[in-house]
A and B are shown apart, each in its own frame.
Chain A
Amino acid sequence: MSTLKIVPVVEGHGEEKAVPLLIRRWLRHRNLHEWFEVPELAVNAKGSGKLKGRYDKRRHIGIEHYIEAALRTGPDAILVLLDADDECVTRNKGNGFGPTLLARARDVAPDLPLAVVVANREYEAWFLASLTSLRAKGLLPLMRLEHFLRPEEPRNCKGLIEKLMGRRYEEQVHQLELTGGITFSAKAKFRSPSYGKLLRDLERLTREARRGRAA
């Protein structure tokens, strides 16, 4: 049986390798890795604001453009992941930043399992949510950290990670390295609700993709 394909769409240089790795690790964790394949590199809307910007095909702006690009490989599900940065992430009302982007993506791919996950405020917050696991794996040193229990609050998670590491945070190297040690525990989901949403969305996408194949 041929595998199902999940295509991630991201907005950053570090994420283009880290997000596929995170999905692959989660698939293995859920024992779904033989069912699904994930490209080595995520579709990358390089430059902050390229996904949320108003659709402008000529300038490669807008989530629609990147969903169209992802569709050309014939995916079974698409996961869009971007940093909220200073955007207000309104939850449970259906009209926040993420739901708006999801609605725009659905206009382009109405029949495909889709998810838009907005990391609050940035992907690196999820490392803080997984701090215990990263420390246990020796990827981050033991050191007191102020925002350990509320990783989504600080504005500059990269700076905090940098402080922890005691050296410059290099996105291309460290984001991938730390993603290799991120945990899927309930505690991490609790500490970072946006990370919890990612894992819930992955559950939903894989379920819907398998159902779509069966149909």
Chain B
Amino acid sequence: MADRIRVTADELRLKNFRAFANARLSLSDLTFLVGRNGAGKSSLLDAIDFLREATSTSLENAIDRRGGVNKVRRAAPGRDRRPPLGLAIVMRLLFAGGMCRTAIYGFELQGDPNNHHSHLRECLKIFGGGAGSFDRKDEVFEPTINAYVSPPSGNLVLPLAGRADELWAAVLETVRNLRAYEFSPAHIAAVPEIGERTTLARDGANAGDVLKSIEGSDDHRWIVSRLGAITAGIVDVRAEALLGRRVLRFVQRAAGGDLQLDASQVSQGTLRGLGILLALRQRPSPSVLLVDEVENSVHPSALAVLVDAALASCQQTRVVLTSHSPELLGHPAVRGDRVRVIEWREGTSHIFRLSQATEEAVNEIDTVGWMLSSNALWTGPEPESGGEDLFALDDSVG
């Protein structure tokens, strides 16, 4: 149903969410995120997860899993009434007839002293004409089209509304397909019970199930060929069933014949590489895919394979790679306009673009990686942030 509307995520907005007071992450086709330890990258990862969980399971679950509203709202000194926390995503909607619209979907929560949320505002705004916008405040739901949807108390209305309208369904699908990953080779190597999920878990623990779901496809062959470029000799990787559990089986070419290896016998770099490649080619394609610290356990020479793989996948997915690695950031794909810097300043995290002079100076000699390692990766004077209204469209978008 939603195939007639193609949605591209353009920006994430965070307001009083964990380390961020008011920040925006504008998304390029491929975005590289750099920042020192403690700058706020984990908060950004959690924002993506929070948005996805709130629309996939329930908002209450997403809050409970994090220990209550006060745990996700930005910590601030004093006992004054805290401003609401909010998350939103800015999207470009391309309709079958070629019409293009900008939309913003998100929600704001006000916490109460008992660590629950007391007020909820949820908005979908379609800019440039056309129906489909709605504004929901607690129990009051005001859509611009006729829809007999009753907002569930304390939960988001979009998961229900998505059944009533194809535009809402497309927006819902986009938010549900936000993905953030912190791969753990140990979890990928574990032998979990067979599941039915085709979407990759945050730590990659169900890599076998996801691989099984694409086995024999072009995407499977694509993954195997890149894995062979990361780890010499790998010619196949399969997901097998053993006593109700999912086992990864790697085939590595050796002098005396092919070796059959299980996940505990291959390197951590191979497992991480598999996780990243699966994340890029899982079904459905993520709308935004953030991979944290791509370079962990991966040899510098293999990093280029992963960046090339991300570049080859960013037609259908907005890929965000966080990295501290000068090698990775020395890749020619790391152009100045694709780099965002997270910095912790004066008690809050901010997201910056590079200064214009720095952006223009990025070339094959002065790479972003060299600038990072020389402390000369200069940011612009102002962080990317918006006004008070989380759902307002401004000049930076559209």
Count chain B residues whose beta carbon lies closer than 8 angstroms to a beta carbon of A.
Answer: 13
A69-B366, A73-B355 known; A41 vs B361 contact (CB < 8 Å)? no
Cross-interface CB contact of B365 among A16, A39, A44, A58, cutoff 8 Å: A58
List A contacts of B366 (CB < 8 A): 69
Do A73 and B374 touch (CB < 8 A)?
no
Cβ of B95 under 8 Å from chain A: no
Do A46 and B374 touch (CB < 8 A)?
yes
Cβ of B232 under 8 Å from chain A: no
Q: In chain B between 351 and 398, which residues have their CB closer than 8 angstroms to a CB of chain A?
A: 355, 357-358, 361, 365-366, 370-371, 373-376, 378
Cross-interface CB contact of B376 among A57, A58, A70, A74, cutoff 8 Å: A70
Cross-interface CB contact of B355 among A39, A42, A57, A72, cutoff 8 Å: A72
List B contacts of A66 (CB < 8 A): 374, 376
Cβ of A115 under 8 Å from chain B: no
Do A69 and B374 touch (CB < 8 A)?
yes
Do B357 and A43 touch (CB < 8 A)?
no
Q: How far is the CB of B382 from chain A (nearest CB, A)?
A: 12
Cβ of A45 under 8 Å from chain B: yes
Do A42 and B375 touch (CB < 8 A)?
yes
List A contacts of B355 (CB < 8 A): 72-74
Do B375 and A16 touch (CB < 8 A)?
yes
Do A39 and B375 touch (CB < 8 A)?
yes
Q: Which residue in chain B gives the minimum CB-CB distance to A20? A: B375
List B contacts of A16 (CB < 8 A): 375
Do A69 and B357 touch (CB < 8 A)?
no
Q: How far is the CA of A39 from the CA of B378 in the complex (A)?
A: 10
Cβ of A33 under 8 Å from chain B: no
Cβ of A106 under 8 Å from chain B: no
List B contacts of A69 (CB < 8 A): 366, 371, 374, 376
Most chain B beta-carbon contacts within 10 A, residue among A42, A58, A70, A73: A73
List A contacts of B375 (CB < 8 A): 16, 39, 41-44
Q: How far is the CB of B48 from chain A (nearest CB, A)?
A: 27
Cross-interface CB contact of A72 among B365, B370, B378, cutoff 8 Å: B378
Do B374 and A74 touch (CB < 8 A)?
no
Q: How far is the CA of A39 from the CA of B67 in the complex (A)?
A: 37
Q: Which residue in chain B gives the minimum CB-CB distance to A50? A: B374
Do B357 and A60 touch (CB < 8 A)?
no
Cross-interface CB contact of A44 among B357, B358, B374, B378, cutoff 8 Å: B374
Q: How far is the CA of A44 from the CA of B358 in the complex (A)?
A: 16
Q: How far is the CA of A73 from the CA of B341 in the complex (A)?
A: 15
Most chain B beta-carbon contacts within 10 A, residue among A66, A69, A70: A69
Q: How far is the CB of A75 from chain B (nearest CB, A)?
A: 10
Q: How far is the CB of B70 from chain A (nearest CB, A)?
A: 30
Do B370 and A43 touch (CB < 8 A)?
no
Q: In chain A between 42 and 62, which residues have their CB closer than 8 angstroms to a CB of chain B?
A: 42-46, 57-58, 60
Cross-interface CB contact of A73 among B365, B370, B373, B378, cutoff 8 Å: B378
Do B357 and A72 touch (CB < 8 A)?
yes
A60-B370, A74-B357 known; A43 vs B376 contact (CB < 8 Å)? yes
Q: Which residue in chain A gives the minimum CB-CB distance to B361? A: A72
Q: How far is the CA of A54 from the CA of B149 in the complex (A)?
A: 72
Most chain A beta-carbon contacts within 10 A, residue among B365, B373, B376: B376
Q: How far is the CA of A43 from the CA of B357 in the complex (A)?
A: 16
Q: How far is the CB of A61 from chain B (nearest CB, A)?
A: 12
Do A72 and B374 touch (CB < 8 A)?
no
A69-B366, A72-B355, A73-B355 known; A43 vs B361 contact (CB < 8 Å)? no
List B contacts of A41 (CB < 8 A): 375
Q: Which residue in chain B gives the minimum CB-CB distance to A60? A: B370
Q: How far is the CA of A74 from the CA of B365 in the complex (A)?
A: 21
List B contacts of A72 (CB < 8 A): 355, 357-358, 361, 376, 378
Most chain B beta-carbon contacts within 10 A, residue among A57, A71, A72: A72
Known A-B contacts: A73-B378, A74-B357. Give 15 more (CB < 8 A).
A41-B375, A43-B376, A44-B375, A57-B365, A58-B365, A60-B365, A60-B370, A66-B376, A69-B371, A70-B376, A71-B357, A72-B357, A72-B358, A72-B378, A73-B376
A-B contact pairs, 6 of them (CB 8 A): A42-B375, A44-B374, A69-B371, A72-B357, A72-B358, A73-B358
B interface residue numbers (CB < 8 A to A): 355, 357-358, 361, 365-366, 370-371, 373-376, 378
